[in-house]
Amino acid sequence: MPQRRIFFQRLAIDSHIGILDHERGATQPLHVDAEFDLEPHTPITRDDIREVLDYRRLRETIIDECSRTHVDLLETLCDRLTHRLLAEYPEVTALRLRIGKPMAFADCAAVGIEVFVRREAVE
């Protein structure tokens, strides 16, 4: 059975994140890359959004979790987002999540955290 993967590349989100004084009073951009492996699927019989996982819902969840409250650490945000995505979308069998802070350092494009988890590893 074929495997399907949904991905997001450089989803830009303004977030309250960081431990430094100047990070606590303002938002800063985050770039989120995410890959969602889905359960093996049967062929689509109708051209109907109800037959697939609607990636608009995944995007809304990512944006909501990354912008809802101040978080000190990228590690904490990654863990929260990973847990929420797996809890809300049972059809996701594995998830790769990368969150980068593009404004953290002037001498690099971004710094960030990447996690990869398979559903059976967290159950």
User: What domains can you pick out in the chain, each with its CATH number?
Assistant: 5-122 (3.30.1130.10)
| Buried residues in 102-114 as b, exposed as e (16+ CB within 10 A) | bebeeeeebebbe
Mean pLDDT by 10 residues, the chain (123 residues): 89 94 89 94 80 94 96 96 96 97 94 94 58
The predicted pLDDT at position 35 comes to 98
C-alpha dihedral sign at 109, 113, 95, 54: negative
The predicted pLDDT at position 21 comes to 85
The predicted pLDDT at position 123 comes to 57
pTM: 0.91
User: Six-digit token pair at 25?
Assistant: 């009073």
The predicted pLDDT at position 10 comes to 97
The predicted pLDDT at position 39 comes to 85
